[in-house]
Structure 1
Amino acid sequence: MEALAQQAARLWGFAPDQIRLAARRENIVWRAEDGSGAFALRLHRPGYRNAAQLLSELRWMDALVQGGLNVPRPVPSRAGTLVEAVGDTLVDLLTWLPGRPIGMQGQLDVTDRVGLCCNLGALLARLHDISDGWTPPPDFSRPAWDRAGLLGDRPLWGPFWDNPGLTAAQRATLLAARAKADAHLAAIEPGLDYGLIHADALSENILIHDDALSLIDFDDGGWGFRDFDLATFLMRFLPAPDYPALRAALLAGYATRRAVDPGTLDLFILLRALTYPGWIIPRLHEPGGAERSMRAITTALPLAEAYLDTP
């Protein structure tokens, strides 16, 4: 992998001693540095995104930068392209943003949790506003977190009801919740706020620097319901004692764009939770896969049961 990274780095003019491994997640990220600053060299998981999808992601991010949002800026290679290929691995380069994640794995490593959530709500509102003001090119290609992408026969993150860790009764519960939620969403979707969303606003993907927030990792970004962005952040904090205050602050910050219906937000928190038992299926063989699958199931099931118990 190091040889692959060095080969990729040369496409942007970096020497082998100018890069170092920064993160292994969905993508493998190397930090590259030269006299002009620091950059994130992303080696994408083969098969997860194609070149057209990555180019669309980068063009969208550039539009957000031009709109004044603090997100990484795409950097062309020496050949002038935003996406390069090294064998079957697609690579790109982004500016490295200063700061640290606001937390990891459902934790908030900040003193003012409520204030942070208010600021994050305002940031997500700006993301959606700037995105609505941008006209994507005709060949723009990003995944759709629409009703089919969340609840259809082939959801974006896989058939969550087929997770092998589910008992027959648990699978039946998720299928019943899926059917009810599909009918629910079909009834209300014409009136919902829909457009480009980040789709992965976890605490790991939100940086703080000098009290300012920024978003990274747009890998799952695409078309979707705007409440899904809010739900993605909130879902991990459901067990927190101050969850009601965090939720209220997030919605107060987002109110610069529009008011959020509480019932609709609850639906999208359920839909967000349902995605994870599907997401983990092809990753069960990876270290920690079984434990992550169990966490996904134990998060989704109570929400599904509570949803089925509501009128």
Structure 2
Amino acid sequence: MSATSDIATDAIAREAAGLVAHYGFSETTTVKLLSESENKIFLVNDPERPEKHVMRVNSGRLSYHTPRQIESELKWLIALRHDTDIAVPEVLHARDGSLVQTIGAPDMDKPRHVAVYSFLSGAEPPEDQLATGFERLGEISAHMHLHARDWTPPAGFERPGWTPEAILEDQLQWGAWQDGVGIGGETLKLLSRLEDVVRKRTDELATGRDEFGLIHADLRLANLLVDPERTAIIDFDDCGFGWYLFDLASALSFLEERPDALELVACWLRGYRKVADVPIDIEAEIPTLIMLRRLQLIGWVGYQQQHLDFARQIGPGFTADSCRLATDYLARFA
């Protein structure tokens, strides 16, 4: 992390800590950085409360990092917690009843929006239990999708659309895949051909109530917390409207080249079918949705080269692996 990044993180941490009284935490509350990816997550520990909390500070760069869209995300999270047995964090209201706060300071690059949740214990499923984890992911995804179909969002509800146009034209500001690591020459030609085929095939997919609706959009194993008592889902920051099976494509993020990738897909579908039917026409295009997601990730990895060690570590290899996946896909579907 650069010195500039350290200064920015310190400023954000300072301003975030200034919100503790707004949520009714005591003066002895500590706020410490817990993790960092697109957003910064802080652990909030109040000695006068039995439970811990987390404070999420959005990066502010994505098109849906607005107070209205974040509040809409939180309202779906509240509804899931109230209406279903899915284990999700409890959203905290501030003393004034608000769900989203905004912080800013001269030494911050931009204002940031903040939400506070209950802290959930648990760990990502271990490497040797991915099949079991994927089956559980599919089951939970089906429950969420059934809720989304029946739930009436409140007035003013606004979340992004995870459509091919939004992803491939970088309307949500994840990063254009053309700006990914090492994109040029034959790689650019190959991935451009991939984009053309993905666009054509997704143009023919149904977008009715049974196929398309409110989804998590980032339901990877990293966002699944397992402990002996329950399996919880976190990180609804990307939730929006898309094909329900795009949640399967998202689940496979960074795992697409594993030798057991097809088995993981089958496990996810097996879990899903325990709860709900899988749209047959969309199921046939799961490989297309996986490649749509992969193009999205190429852009994200490219943008994050300046910000995250993880992205720098996988950058060149991720593009090379994507080309192999694209070649295999085009041999089947072009």
The TM-score with structure 1 as length reference comes to 0.90
State percent identity of aligned pairs. 27
Match of 1:274 among 260, 281, 295: 295
Matching residue's letter, 1:6: A
1:297 pairs with 2:319: yes
Worse overlay, 261-270 or 119-128? 261-270
Matching residue's letter, 2:147: I
How many residue pairs are counted as aligned between the two chains? 305
Matching residue of 2:41 = 29
Worse overlay, 297-306 or 81-90? 297-306
Does the C-alpha gap of structure 1 residues 33 and 291 become closer, same or farther in structure 2, counting only changes over 3 Å? closer
Tell me how far apart the structure 2 counterparts of residues 50 and 172 of structure 1 sit (CA, whole Å): 35
Matching residue of 2:82 = 66
Matching residue of 1:105 = none
Matching residue of 1:93 = 116
Matching residue of 1:309 = 331
Match of 2:58 among 11, 26, 44: 44
- Counterparts of residues 200-279 of structure 1 (less than 5 Å): 200-210=218-228, 212-255=230-273, 256-259=275-278, 261=280, 262-279=283-300
Work out whether residues 123 and 213 of structure 1, in 8 Å CA contact, stay in contact via their aligned partners in 2.
Answer: no
SS at match of 1:277: helix
Shift of 1:235: 4.2
SS at match of 1:145: coil
Root-mean-square deviation over aligned CA pairs: 2.2
**1:239-278 alpha-carbon deviations (Å, 9 max, x no partner):** 4344343322211110121135453111111111111111
Does the C-alpha gap of structure 1 residues 240 and 159 become closer, same or farther in structure 2, counting only changes over 3 Å? closer
The TM-score with structure 2 as length reference comes to 0.84
Tell me how far apart the structure 2 counterparts of residues 283 and 236 of structure 1 sit (CA, whole Å): 15
Work out whether residues 29 and 45 of structure 2, in 8 Å CA contact, stay in contact via their aligned partners in 1.
Answer: no
Shift of 1:218: 0.8
Shift of 1:233: 1.3
Q: Which segments of 5 or more consecutive residues in structure 2 lack a partner in the other structure?
A: 1-9, 105-110
Does the C-alpha gap of structure 1 residues 299 and 143 become closer, same or farther in structure 2, counting only changes over 3 Å? farther
1:122 pairs with 2:139: yes
1:20 pairs with 2:32: yes
Tell me how far apart the structure 2 counterparts of residues 273 and 13 of structure 1 sit (CA, whole Å): 42
Matching residue of 2:16 = 5
Shift of 1:123: 0.5
Tell me how far apart the structure 2 counterparts of residues 33 and 239 of structure 1 sit (CA, whole Å): 39
Tell me how far apart the structure 2 counterparts of residues 112 and 135 of structure 1 sit (CA, whole Å): 36
**1:171-209 alpha-carbon deviations (Å, 9 max, x no partner):** 111111111111111012346711111111122111101
Worse overlay, 64-73 or 293-302? 293-302
Q: Which segments of 5 or more consecutive residues in structure 1 lack a partner in the other structure?
A: 103-108
SS at match of 1:100: coil
